Amino acid sequence: MSKTIGILAGSLRKESFSKKLANAVLNMAPEGFKFKVISLADLPIYNQDFDDNHEVPQAIIAFREEMASVDGIIFITPEYNRSVPAVLKNALDVGSRPYGKSVWDAKPAAVFSNSPGNLSAFGANHHLRQSLVFLNVPTMQQPEVYLPKVNELFNENGILKEGSTKEFLKKAVDAYITWFKKNS
């Protein structure tokens, strides 16, 4: 049976490079796998009262259901102030509750970070990994995926240009799939 991998991009920006990378990765699914981009655009900020009062916004219920239905996750994160953008951290928090019903538990993941700068969102990549340890998300170690100068990678239609970064990204996706098969 085919496996589904959810792709989460940590940006809401219309012209987000992370979202463009997510679309590029979407087209790299190998046979037997379905990749789907899961939007964070409508996700409210988590409030623990939702769980205590059982007054959970519909968008949160829908997100939890969608995440529960995927078998693995590829996180594509930019960096805000040397850490994970709030929209992605919020998604982790939303999916982690109610207590004992986390949608993340044991789902094999990969982290791809990117930045227009040279440091490739290293800080966000590793802050994200810190949360993933706690959430019991086994995360691919190698290859590490840090994409610098991301603003130079797309053509005028927002499509990832042919070249070494695209080749590396494809290799990283293939490595994730090989690793996923051993860890799921």
The one among 79, 88, 125, 140 contacting ligand FNR by CB under 6 A: 79
- 112 CB contacts (<8 Å, ≥6 apart)? 21, 25, 74, 75, 76, 77, 145, 147, 169, 172
CB of 126 to ligand FNR, least distance (A): 13
Rule CB under 6 A: say whether 115 interacts with ligand FNR. Answer: yes
Binding-residue pattern over the window 82 to 101 for ligand FNR, x denoting contact by CB under 6 A? x-------------------
Rule CB under 6 A: say whether 139 interacts with ligand FNR. Answer: no
3 state DSSP class of 75 = strand
Rule CB under 6 A: say whether 113 interacts with ligand FNR. Answer: no
Number of residues lying near ligand FNR (CB under 6 A): 15
- 9 CB contacts (<8 Å, ≥6 apart)? 16, 18, 19, 21, 22, 37, 40, 76, 77
The one among 81, 141, 142, 164 contacting ligand FNR by CB under 6 A: 81
120 by Cβ neighbours in 10 Å (0-12 / 13-18 / 19+) ranks as buried
The nearer residue to ligand FNR, 111 or 121, going by C-beta atoms, is 121
The one among 6, 7, 8, 16 contacting ligand FNR by CB under 6 A: 16
In this structure, are strands 109-114 and 3-9 parallel, antiparallel, or unpaired? unpaired
Q: Residue 128 and residue 123: Cα distance in Å, rounded? A: 8
Nearest to 18 by CA among 66, 87, 81, 69: 87
Rule CB under 6 A: say whether 121 interacts with ligand FNR. Answer: yes
The alpha helices in 3-143, defined as continuous H runs, are: 17-26, 49-53, 58-68, 86-96, 122-134
Rule CB under 6 A: say whether 18 interacts with ligand FNR. Answer: yes
The one among 80, 93, 144, 166 contacting ligand FNR by CB under 6 A: 80
CB of 13 to ligand FNR, least distance (A): 4
Query: Contact positions toward ligand FNR, by CB under 6 A?
Result: 11, 13, 16-18, 78-82, 115-117, 119, 121
